[in-house]
Each structure stands twice: as C-alpha cells, then as structure tokens.
Structure 1
Amino acid sequence: MPKPASLPTAFGVALLGIALFSAMDAVVKGSSFAIGVYNTLLWRSVAGVVLAGALHFGRRPRWPGPAALRVHVARGSITTIMAFLFFWGLVRVPMAQAVALTFIAPLLSLALAAVLLGEHVGRRAILASLVAFAGVLVIAIGGTRGTSEPQAWEGTLAIIGSALCYAYNIVLMRRQALQADPREVAFFSHLVLTILFGLAAPWLAIVPAPAQWSPILLAALLATGSLLLLSWAYARAPASRLSASEYSGFLWASLFGWLVFGETVGLATMAGAVLIVIGCVLAARAAQAPPEAAEL
C-alpha cells in the first residue's frame, strides 16, 4: 500500500496529469487527420511501450502477480475501446464539447454500480442523473444545430460510449494504482493497447511518414507522463476525492481547441457542461449522505 499524501498534493498532481492528457488529446486529434485514428493510436502505443518500458525495467522489477496482471489486462482492454471511441468522435466534434460529454462518467458509474453490484440508487442520485442528462442533451443539440452532416451526431454518440467505458475505468484506475507502481501501470497500459490494436495491423496499419513521427512520439510522451502522475495520485488519495480534477479538462480542452484548431466554445457547450457538473456534485453528495437522508 503506497504511503498516503496530503489531499492538496494528490489533487495537484492529478490536475497536472489531466493537463498532460488534454495536451495529448490535441496532438492525437491533429495526427488523426493525417493518418487516421487507428494508426495514430497504434503507433502511439508502440512508442509508449518503448518509453514506459525503459522506465519500468530500468529498475529491474519483479513480474506482477496474477491479481495485478488481471487488473492490467482489464483496464487496458477497456482503455482500448474507450480511446478509440473518444478519438474517433474527437475528430468530428470540437475538443471542449467532447470533454464536456465525458463528464457524465461519474454518473454512469453509479448506474453500473446499481446494475453490476446491486447497489441502491436513491432519489437524489436519480435527480442528479436527470440534471446531467439534460446537460448532455443541451450539448448534443447545440453541437449539431445548423449542420445536416451525420458526423456530428456520430461523434457525439461515440464520445458518450467512451464515457461509459471510462466510468468503469475510474474504478479500475484506483484498484490498479493500489497494486502496482506507476511505472508498471504506464508500461502495461501501453502494452495491452499495443497488443489489442495490433490484432488489426495486417489489414489497417500503415507506416507513418517521417514527418508524422514527431507528433506520435510527443503523444506517447504526454500519455506516459499523465499515466505516471494519475497513478501516483490515485494510489495516495481516494478516487471520490480526486474525481473533481477531471473537470479541469474542460478548460484545457477549450484552450487547446482554440490554440491548435481555432475552435470556439459555444454557449450550449458551456451551459451543458455546467448542468453535468451540477449533476455530478449532487450525485457525490447523495453518495456521501446516510441512506435515510439520500432519499429526502
């Protein structure tokens, strides 16, 4: 069990991890326009294996036990689906809109807990879900208004599917961080992604042009750095206390979307993001309240 850190320290490290992930989103989005989502993610994962492997095996670690390996494979498998859906949607919608939609993940995790674990969901949690769902509708309708192209709706639905995967990933992140060193987490995360994406390589893979390797390597570096920081933070503070750091991704996505792609944040996206955050706050309070109070 890693030694706990103060909440401000862990939260600050998590914020930095989210910032690196947001920068990586912008790099991957730009690269995906050139060589496609699949090849960008495949070669980013390959580069990540080399980079994270050097950090991990440089300290001569012991091979992880069966329990840790199961978590590595489970999270890596979920992350593969999550990443492909997210970046497939990201090339079709603005960055801020995409990140705002992923904020429903904490609420989706409540639904998963009810379905998979039989946990009780009170009326306050249901109200929170309805508020957040209203935010999703505001973003989806506002983001697709004025366009007849189906790609806007397709991108929105793909990102919502990615958020569903991320809801489960939140649980696995905490479990994985408690069982493994951050360098081990980063290495196995890249390794599982590489293996799973590599299954389609004979039909889909292409060798990127020399000019494309710089953004791919940069994306791998940013992803590895973010995995290290988030693993460190989630190993030292409860996930429920760190989940609010995810909301900072909206600010970073807005900034990078504007700087790199000239995207502007519409009123509908901002209003929807506020509704989703309110829903998440209500859900968190419902989860912390006693069962009797949660029903009030």
Structure 2
Amino acid sequence: MESLPAASKANRRATSLALAAVLCWSTVASAFKLSLQYLTPLQLVSIASVVSAVFMLVAIFWQGRSAEIGASWRRNHRWYIALGFCNPFLYYLTLFHAYELLPAQQAQPLNYTWGVLLALLSVPLLKQKLRRQDLLAGLVCYTGVLVIATGGDLLGLQFDQPWGVTLALLSTLIWSCYWLLNTRIGGTAAVNLFLTCCCGLPWLAGTLLWQGWGEAWQWPPLAGWLGALYVGLFEMGIAFLLWQAAMMSCDNTARISNFIYLSPPLSLLLIALLVGEKIQLATIAGLAMILLGVAIQQGALKRLFFQRS
C-alpha cells in the first residue's frame, strides 16, 4: 500500500521536471534570435559552449561522478573527438547561421524535424527495419517543411531564403548523426556531454584563428554575453539534465514523452512576444503538419486510438 503514494509522488516529480525542461526549450529559439543581434554565430556557439562545459563539470562533481571522466575518455576518446566535431561545433554553427538568415518562426519548426530524420537514418546506419509509419511520418513532416519554407505557396515553390532553409534542414542531419554516433558510447549522459563539448572547443578555437582572431572576435556588448550565457546554461545544460532526471524518475516514459509536443507552440508564442515576429498562418499550418508527422513516427496516434477503442 505504501508503494502507490511513492510511485505517484515520483511521477508528479517527473512531470514537474519534464515541464520545466519543455519550458526551457521553448525559450531558446527566441534567445537564439535575440542573441544573434549582438553576436555572430561563431561567437554565440563559442561562448555558449564554454558555459555549457563549465556547467556540466559542476553538475558532474555535484553528482559525485568525477571519476567517470577519465575512465570514459580513455575508453571512448576517438568517439568524443568525432562527437565534438558534430556537436557543438558543426551543429550549432549551422543552426545559428540558419537563425541568422530565417525568421525564428521558420527556423524553429524546421529544426524540429530531426526526430523523423533520425528514424529514417536508423534504417541504413543501424540496420533497423523501415516501418510504414516512418515513411508516412516523413511525407507528412516534410510537406509541413515545404509549407513553411514557401510561405504556403506550394504550387509556386518560391523560397524567400533557400540557403537558410537548407542550413536549418542540414542542422537536423548533423544532430541526427550526432545521436546515432552517441549510441556507440553508453555511460553517463552528463559526462558524455561534457567531454564532447570539450572536444568541440578546439574546433571552435581553430575556426576563430583561421578567420583571423581580430576579425572574427569583436568584443560583444553586455546583451550579447547575457544571451550566450542563457543559451549555454539552458539550451546546452539545464534543460538536458532536467529531462534526463524526469526520464529517470518516471515509471513509464510514455507519461512524459508527449510533453515535448508543447515546446514548438510555446516557442512560437514566445517568438511573437519577445522577438516581435508576426506569426504567419503558413508557419502554424506547417508546424501542425510537422507535429503530426512526429506523432505518427512515435506511434502516439496509434496509442491514442488503441486506448480509446
């Protein structure tokens, strides 16, 4: 009899943590766009990566897992070097350049398609079976991408920012490859993120030197520093640990997995309020199709139908 209240309390804690993570993720699109008013993409990812690495190191010591750092590095250092190139270096540089070119209301939903692409890439790379729902999800999801990219003019197929759209979709490919590589490592998530972040810093420093330090790095204003600090803490750190804790606290991950669908609509609301963008009808329609595609891919609609029948 005592286990029921304990389980209920754990699930309530998991729900609170998951909602807090979703709220963090909902703010980052606005933070990206506002920060890029004061920083270049290279500056933003460089400062945020340092902040994230320091935060993760503190979290690792607080969790009492500092001994795992050396052991994990000796076991998987080649993988960490590859992962660090993917994220934070290549992924965030690509994503921030997309946000620099596109309205936040377009870049954010396009980036959200990575989950469907991950499922499709798992077929050739992890030898997983291709399901009909994966193909249907891809069709629905990327139709939503076309709706957003063309401003709803599907017949005309006129892209206002084709390079920005390309970069946003390329970022989903990089992020998917990062997670596929990540499956090879195992171990503690915080330690993995710290080591990959540290391995990304030399790539960022090398790029700064290659571009010419004086030209690539102009001292940012205070607003730029605060924006990068926020991105490093919440996008690359706190939200990740909150979601991880929620998954560990919950007795059934399905209880909280659907909360992720709250993030894009909340993000659009914050983009309108904080960034001042007028949300277009094509963005709402395209986002709805992307969310539908993700729901199909994850089997959420099938579970809903099964539970009701």
Aligned to 2:299: 285
The alpha carbon displacement at 1:75 in A equals 4.0
Aligned to 1:197: 204
The alpha carbon displacement at 1:22 in A equals 3.5
Q: Does residue 48 of structure 2 align to residue 44 of structure 1?
A: yes
CA distance in structure 2 between the aligned counterparts of 1:169 and 1:15, rounded to whole angstroms: 25
5+ long unaligned stretches in structure 2: 1-6, 304-309
Aligned residue pair count: 281
5+ long unaligned stretches in structure 1: 290-296
Q: Does residue 183 of structure 2 align to residue 179 of structure 1?
A: no
**CA 1:69/1:14 → structure 2, altered by over 3 Å: closer, same or farther?**
farther
CA distance in structure 2 between the aligned counterparts of 1:53 and 1:155, rounded to whole angstroms: 34
AA matched with 1:195:
P
CA distance in structure 1 between the aligned counterparts of 2:77 and 2:253, rounded to whole angstroms: 21
Aligned to 1:35: 39
CA distance in structure 1 between the aligned counterparts of 2:106 and 2:40, rounded to whole angstroms: 20
AA matched with 1:264:
K
**2:57–2:194 contact (8 Å) kept in structure 1:** yes
Aligned to 1:260: 274
**CA 1:275/1:209 → structure 2, altered by over 3 Å: closer, same or farther?**
closer
Q: Does residue 38 of structure 2 align to residue 26 of structure 1?
A: no
The alpha carbon displacement at 1:286 in A equals 9.5
The alpha carbon displacement at 1:12 in A equals 4.4
**1:86–1:158 contact (8 Å) kept in structure 2:** yes
The normalised TM-score by structure 2 is: 0.75
Aligned to 2:4: none
**2:122–2:180 contact (8 Å) kept in structure 1:** no
**CA 1:74/1:230 → structure 2, altered by over 3 Å: closer, same or farther?**
farther
**1:174–1:234 contact (8 Å) kept in structure 2:** no
How do 1:212-231 residues align onto structure 2 when only pairs under 5 Å count?
Answer: 212-222=224-234, 223-231=236-244
Render the CA deviation track for 1:17-52: whole Å, top value 9, x for unaligned. 232234233233222222211111112212333333
**1:144–1:153 contact (8 Å) kept in structure 2:** no
- Partner residue of 1:99 out of 99, 104, 108: 108
**CA 1:171/1:118 → structure 2, altered by over 3 Å: closer, same or farther?**
closer
CA distance in structure 2 between the aligned counterparts of 1:74 and 1:189, rounded to whole angstroms: 8
Identity of aligned residues (%): 23
How do 1:1-296 residues align onto structure 2 when only pairs under 5 Å count?
Answer: 9-10=13-14, 12-57=16-61, 59=64, 61-62=66-67, 63-65=70-72, 66-67=74-75, 69=77, 72-80=80-88, 81-142=90-151, 152-171=161-180, 179-180=187-188, 182=190, 184-204=191-211, 205-211=216-222, 212-222=224-234, 223-234=236-247, 244-285=258-299
Aligned to 1:293: none
**2:149–2:159 contact (8 Å) kept in structure 1:** no
Render the CA deviation track for 1:205-240: whole Å, top value 9, x for unaligned. 415235232322233222321232233345566887
Task: Give 1 or 2 for the bigger CA radius of gyration.
Answer: 2
The alpha carbon displacement at 1:97 in A equals 2.1
Question: Over aligned residue pairs, what C-alpha RMSD do you find?
Answer: 3.5
AA matched with 1:155:
G
SS in 2 for 1:119: coil
Render the CA deviation track for 1:176-233: whole Å, top value 9, x for unaligned. 7x62153x34533432332221221213441523523232223322232123223334
CA distance in structure 1 between the aligned counterparts of 2:193 and 2:23, rounded to whole angstroms: 17
The normalised TM-score by structure 1 is: 0.78
**CA 1:125/1:216 → structure 2, altered by over 3 Å: closer, same or farther?**
closer
**1:103–1:247 contact (8 Å) kept in structure 2:** no
AA matched with 2:38:
A
